[in-house]
Structure 1
Amino acid sequence: MMSVRERPRVLFLSNVAWDYLRQRHQAMAARFGRDFEVWFVEIPGIRRLRLSDLPRIWRRLLVLCGVADGGDGGVREPVPDGVRVVRPLVLPSTNALFDWCNRVLVARWVRRHRDGLADGVEAIVTYTASSAALALVDRVPHRRLVYECTDNFAAVRGVPRSYIEREARLLKRADLTVVPSLPLAERHRGAARRIEVLPHGTEVERFLPEGPGRERPADRPVTLIYYGHMHRQHFDFPLVEGIARRRPAWRITLVGPVVTGWRWPSNVDLPGPQAHARLREFIFRSDVIILPYAINEYTRCVLPAKTFECLATGLPIVATPLPEIRRVLKAHVRIADDVSGFVAEVEAAVRDYRSPEQRSDRIAEARRQTWESRYRQMCAWLREMDDAR
């Protein structure tokens, strides 16, 4: 029997760190933190380790030792009231030995925090089926288990088979599985006890332009922007390089960590990860936002987390034909699938630069897709399950 607390506790088991990016994990945890006491538990990734991962591993060790914070390159989103970020010492869920070690490490961690966990928690919301996460699910009593499945992990390069097997068990065990896209729901519908589609949202005020749209400066080169991780799993490097070479007078700004190295032409800028205030500066010095996603088995289940953020800027967007973008946002996003198509759509977008009607339509759609509405929907599902008991 769980003791009564003034604010019930919820564990968020996250496969991403609380760093410079405000992703689904942080956005939902921040909102739960207004009504619950949230522990945001950072769990290492699931890819097989490579030499290129050594800097990231070293940075995590420094964080665990208290020498550095959890940000990427020193950049980190503030942690709101009601949320506590915790980083247990556990290993990546990449092999049987690490999985065994994680069961031992998690058992010790739970014992050290027994004052906060022994009586159980209101809910566990997990974004990962790693061995460490499932060990926590086993060790911490909870009323509800929610699996926020954000990706088609079976299509992610380097994910071990053992992870997919654990995910299948988690789908059967979770009271509720939540996915951001219809294709991902269809993929897991037969395995999950209950599955619901909850697309990514946006914090509109963080991305709205300041004041009415202005005329584009005639002497400014056409400037495109993409922000987020750049990894061959989802980012179409040849496409962006082709656009840069086809239009050498244009500027292309790629904001965020480059996970996969690439040799870029001189008109491509790589400013690295940026805090939100700086990201806004880059966005509003640009003419068009691009979403150059590769089309493959992984991305066919993807609705980019930044989709509605991009709409909130009011800027025109050109994207590759991801199925979910075509289904959900075709009226607000220009679609192109090769270099020539991208160039043509960007040029058309610049001609219609900040058209008042199109700009207003994009922002209005973003206002309908807030994280507030997503949180209310999640709470409604949880209450519905309680009422059905």
Structure 2
Amino acid sequence: MLFVYPPTIDWGWMKQRPQQIMSGLAARGHTVYFCNKTRREAAVETLAPGLHLVHDHDAWLQGQWPAIRDRSAEPSVVWVTLPGLAPTIHRYGASLTVYDCVDEFPEWLRDEHPLAEMADVIFCTAERIRQRLRRRYPGRRTELVRNAYDTAMGLHSRPSAPLAKPPDLPNHPGPWIGYIGAWAPWVDEALLRRLARSLPEADILIVGPEFGRKYARDPKLHFLGLKPHAELPLYMDWCSLFLIPFRPNGVTLATNPVKAYEYLATGKPVIATDLPECRRMAPFVDCAGNHGEFLRLTASRLQDAGDRAARTAYALQHTWAHRASEVEEVLAGIAARR
């Protein structure tokens, strides 16, 4: 098949589900054009066999895309994650339209109806989202395809001892507790501060960009900013366990955290707040119903990490290669019935 992902995010900004799904489809022999949100005059860049990065979207859409689409013997698919793009989808003239519902941001939901109604299939990342979509759009096909682990990160096969210390990692004699991800409004800062005070020997390492809020000021919270995806294992090597410290709200209760799979691939303990999708990962993820339990679980896992091999095995059963295969099977069935 021939896939196009319209401008939504930049390829190099926090490797997420769109980049992973598109990479996985290209690896399975499909042709993919990922269109960067940031526009500049530049030729289409080939990132891997079958995987192309479009920089000058409008020029490419008007000039090259029609010929690419019309010459292809395979169905063309426009893969959309941002509902606000619905009015532009007709410009691609694709055989199939996919709506991949990845988050429950209220501002996205306001624009969702037109895209959902035109989609040939709706994929989603969490059971809570699937239930909502089926209630709201009972006539539309909805498929649950959760997030996954990127084996190219190599987190499942890292040496037992950390490699060379990254130069910006502070000197700290005790254990590091890691949070890898955006410093977003739904991260429970009060919980992290309380956790840090309860464990005098441990500090918390936060690797990710500011997203809708400024970094906190706390001597036991260390913010290293956004890092290239390929460099994340260098920091994760130094962590003794990992956190998903999300406050419950409409977004987080419907999230299937990519970071959970990446954390689990290391074999190290993962402590999460009481999120439905994390509960589904038990016993590999430890979920806490309140702040006190979160602190107790973290302290316990620092003393006894538990079954590392089982966590890694779980991550390897849920990879992006698996997800690309699931997507391919659904789309092939739809195309065959056309």
Q: TM-score, normalised by structure 2?
A: 0.86
Distance across 2 between alignment mates of 1:385 and 1:65? 36
**Partner amino acid, structure 2, of 1:178:** F
Classify 1:223/1:366 alpha carbon distance in 2 versus 1 (closer, same or farther; 3 Å): same
Aligned position for 1:42: 36
Question: What is the Cα deviation at residue 212 of structure 1?
Answer: 5.3
Aligned-pair CA distance for 1:118: 6.0
What do the CA deviations read for 1:22-60 (whole angstroms, capped 9, x no partner)? 2111111112223222110234xxxxxxxxxxxxxxxx4
| C-alpha distance in structure 1 between counterparts of 2:92 and 2:232, whole Å | 38
CA displacement at 1:385 relative to structure 2? 1.5
Unpaired stretches in structure 2, ≥5 consecutive residues: 163-171
Q: Which residue of 1 aligns with 2:77?
A: 123
Query: Counterparts of 1:328-343 in structure 2 under 5 Å?
Result: 328-343=280-295
1:144 aligns with 2:144: no
Quickly say closer, same or farther: Cα 1:372–1:263, change in 2 above 3 A. Answer: closer
The Cα of 1:340 is off from its aligned counterpart by: 2.8
Q: Is residue 215–residue 223 contact of structure 2 (8 Å, CA) maintained in 1?
A: no
In structure 1, how many angstroms separate the alpha carbons of the residues matched to 2:113 and 2:84? 12
Spell out the pairing of 1:365-380 with structure 2 (5 A cutoff). 365-380=314-329
Q: Which moved more, 1:328-337 or 1:79-88?
A: 79-88
Match of 2:26 among 22, 29, 33: 33
User: Are 1:386 and 2:331 counterparts?
Assistant: no
1:202 to 149, 164, 174: 149
Q: Distance in 1 between matches of 2:56 and 2:177?
A: 40
Q: Which residue does the alignment assign to 1:110?
A: 61
Report the more deviating stretch, 26-35 or 284-293: 26-35
Tell me how many residue pairs correspond in the alignment. Answer: 319
CA change 1:351–1:230 in 2 (3 A) is same
The DSSP-based 3-state class of the residue aligned with 1:18 is coil
Work out whether residues 28 and 375 of structure 1, in 8 Å CA contact, stay in contact via their aligned partners in 2.
Answer: yes
SS in structure 1 opposite 2:4?
strand
| CA–CA distance in structure 1, aligned partners of residues 6 and 260 of structure 2 | 24
Which residue of structure 2 lines up, in the alignment, with residue 93 of structure 1? none
1:54 aligned residue: none
Partner of 2:140: 193
1:63-78 mapped onto 2 (5 Å cutoff): 64=40
The CA deviation at 1:9 is 2.7
Q: Residue 244 of structure 1 is aligned with which of 192, 196, 218?
A: 196
Instruction: Report the CA distance between 1:130 and its aligned residue.
Output: 1.9
Alignment of 1:1-389 (within 5 A): 8-13=1-6, 15-34=8-27, 35-43=29-37, 60=38, 64=40, 79-88=47-56, 110-113=61-64, 114-117=66-69, 122-131=76-85, 134-135=87-88, 137-154=89-106, 159=107, 164-190=109-135, 191=137, 193-206=140-153, 207-211=155-159, 220-232=173-185, 234-259=186-211, 260-326=213-279, 328-353=280-305, 355=306, 358-389=307-338
Q: 1:341 to 1:144 in 2, by over 3 A?
A: same
Displacement of 1:384: 1.5
Q: Give me the identity figure in percent.
A: 22
How high is the TM-score relative to the length of structure 1?
A: 0.75
Query: Cα 1:373–1:88, aligned 2, differ >3 Å: closer, same or farther?
Result: same
Q: CA deviation at 1:204?
A: 3.0
Q: Following TM superposition, by how much is the alpha carbon of 1:65 offset from its aligned partner in structure 2, in angstroms?
A: 5.8
- Once the two structures are superposed, residues 80-111 of structure 1 have per-residue CA deviations (whole angstroms, 9 ceiling, x without a partner) of 3322222457xxxxxxxxxxxxxxxx6x7632
1:315, CA displacement in angstroms?
0.6
Residue 153 of structure 1: how far off its partner (Å)? 2.6
1:129 CA displacement: 1.5
Structure 2 Cα separation of the partners of residues 258 and 247 of structure 1: 25
Output the aligned Cα RMSD: 2.6
Q: Distance in 1 between matches of 2:337 and 2:40?
A: 42
SS in 1 for 2:113: helix
**CA–CA distance in 2 between the matches of 1:81 and 1:134?**
31
Whether the 8 Å CA contact 2:260–2:270 is kept in 1: the answer is no
Asked if the contact 2:25/2:328 (under 8 Å) is kept, the reply is no
What is the CA-CA distance between 1:239 and the residue it aligns to? Answer: 1.3
Corresponding residue of 2:166: none
Distance of aligned partners of 1:39 and 1:179 in 2 relative to their CA distance in 1, 3 Å threshold: same
Most deviating of 257-266 and 306-315: 257-266
Structure 1 residue 305: Cα displacement: 1.7
How far the C-alpha of 1:274 sits from its partner, in A, is 1.5
How far 1:311 moved relative to its partner? 0.9
Cα offset, 1:236, TM superposition = 1.3
Q: Is the 8 A contact 1:33 1:82 kept in 2?
A: yes
